[in-house]
Amino acid sequence: MLTRREFLAATSAIALSHSASAIPSSGGALPRLARKDCFLGLHFDLHPTARDKDLGRDLTDAMVSHLLDACRPDFVEYDSKGHPGYLGYPSRTGMSAPGIVQDSLAIWRRVTAALGVAFYNHFSGVLDGLAVVKHPEWARVGPDGNRDPQETSLFSPYEWELMIPELTEVALRYDLDGSWVDGDCWAVKPDYCDAAQREFLEKTGIDLLPKKPEDKGWNEFLDMQREQFRQYVAVYVNALHRAKPGYQITSNWMYSTFAPERPTVPLDYLSGDLAAQTAVRQARIEARYLSRCGKPWDLMSWGFEKDAQFKDPSTKPVVELEQEAAVVLAQGGAYQIYYNPTRAGWIDDRVITTAGEVGRFCRKRQQLSFCSESLPEVGVLFSGRTLYRTAGRVFGGWGKAEAPAAGAVDLLLSCGYSVDLIPDWQAAECTAQYHLIVVPDWQDIGEEVAKTLTSYVAEGGTLLLCGAENARLFSSDLNLRLTGTAQERSYLIAD
């Protein structure tokens, strides 16, 4: 079994072992845009399983060409491995789904290359149900001592023994332009495996792993898990960069509000999928956060609605997707739509028509919107520190814990202001640009950010504080007098 260090030394050998490509490099085809220059995309998940019997059966070159001609995307992302862990293409490295009738990736790559459309794969990272079935020792261990049925352990050799060889194989075999790695930060839960316990003891001197916020070392334990995830992402990103120079790769939702920290891992772009039924509201927050991170970014609408009371998802109408796209474009981002073809690869004509109309809507706005920047007027503080220290999760989605920022943005937008999010790690660099900074009802913004905002006020800035904790934190520096005891109440604010 290789250690992480041994794997890093052997990465070049892995690349060489998969250098024979089944899909010839697209010499003579139209040039493809780098991700930083891509504005519009399409995404397809399948998540192949052992039950599939006809993967790729109905897909044709003509069908793909018809879709690309209607929508004219700059890039397409297509499934090669979903959360169940089966690969959707004939593989020599991992476990292919048993029901592959026709190689869908080969068809997509052939047509996209001919039309100058960049081609990426959807690939599940931390979540790999098949891997933990075949290697139970690779599974994350829960606080009850049970092994997770789908989530791999960041402390296991899963990454370099299986995940990176699979990614390298598909990247080289199909001459992919990059990867959209799913099932990553948002899927990570605290790991109580033996390796985690040894590392925690070495880092903190605490020999009993904490299981709840009241336990000794709880925040330190979560911070250790986050650092392990950063190292994991850095390893596969660097491995793919070495195996295929120019390869462009991201980890879904990394460096968004789900992982609200200064970008350090060399991801080539940032991305996330708007799965909630309140996608416009989610897009308002995520677009404003991603636009601050200094990397190319996009947001993806689900092109369908899912509800537990209905068996089959319903396709979103054009106007709904245009509303979601408009929020993303207004912040300078790129946009993509996610659809599911049938298990056999068929793409419904309704999808092609809708994607075409939304694509035209976006293109009409590209020249004015793409890579644009907002004029600073009102800044809303986004406290990653609060979420990391009080939400009880390794990463987001944070649910109600994120509500203070979402509520502040909604309220300010309804008043007609131009609103930006200010990540707390960026506060010292940009507060002076804003006429007004709003601090939502965060529980723990920290002394460092408080000092930055106090200086901002001293230099003439206007600060709007929300919540008892923020009032208490600033009471001395801003000469605030607190009376009574803080109470939580609900109010209805009429329009």
Beta carbons of 233 and 266 less than 8 angstroms apart: no
Per the model's pLDDT, the better-predicted residue between 217 and 277 turns out to be: 217
* Confidence (pLDDT) at 353: 97
Alpha-carbon span 326 to 322, nearest angstrom? 6
Model confidence at 385, pLDDT cuts 50, 70, 90, reads very high
108-117, 273-282, 481-490 — which one is most confidently predicted on average? Answer: 108-117
pTM of this structure: 0.92
The rounded percent of the chain whose pLDDT value lies above 70 is 92
**What are the domain boundaries of the chain?**
4-369, 378-474
Instruction: Judge whether 442 and 383 are in contact, CB under 8 Å.
Output: yes
Measure the CA–CA gap between 350 and 190, rounded to whole angstroms: 42
pLDDT digits (tens, 9 = 90+) for 416-457: 999 999 999 999 999 999 999 999 999 999 999 999 999 999
Query: What is the rounded average pLDDT of the residues 163-173?
Result: 98
Q: CA-CA distance, 398 to 258, in Å (whole number)?
A: 7
Residue bearing the bigger pLDDT, 25 or 90:
90
Within 13 Å, how many C-alpha atoms sit on residue 208's CB side?
Answer: 5
Q: How confident is the model at residue 134 (pLDDT cuts 50, 70, 90)?
A: very high
Instruction: Please list, in sequence order, all residues whose beta carbon lies within 8 angstroms of the beta carbon of residue 184, skipping any fewer than 6 positions away.
Output: 125, 126, 229, 233, 251, 252, 253, 254
**Is residue 495 very low, low, confident or very high in pLDDT (cuts 50, 70, 90)?**
low
Q: How confident is the model at residue 3 (pLDDT cuts 50, 70, 90)?
A: low
pLDDT at 220 over 70: yes
Q: Which residues pair with 202 in a beta bridge?
A: none
The answer, yes or no, to whether residue 181 has pLDDT greater than 80, is: yes
pLDDT interval class at 12 (50, 70, 90): very low
Under CATH, what is the fold of the domain 378-474? Rossmann fold (3.40.50)
Residue-wise pLDDT tens digits, 289-337: 999 999 999 999 999 987 666 666 788 999 999 999 999 999 999 999 9
Peptide bond into 272 cis (omega under 30): no
* Structure token digits, residue 437: 């900074």
Residue tagged 């009409």 (tokens): 364
Confidence of residue 476 (pLDDT cuts 50, 70, 90): confident
Q: Please, are residues 243 and 11 in contact by the beta-carbon 8 Å criterion?
A: yes
Grouping H, G, I as helix, E, B as strand and the rest as coil, residue 100 is: strand
Closest CA to 76 of 85, 67, 89: 67
In whole angstroms, how far apart are CA 297 and each of 96, 153, 251, 290, 371? Answer: 31, 28, 12, 7, 9
Q: Domain 4-369: which CATH class?
A: alpha beta
Name beta bridge partners: 398: none
Residue 363, SS3? helix
Residue 21 has a pLDDT of: 45
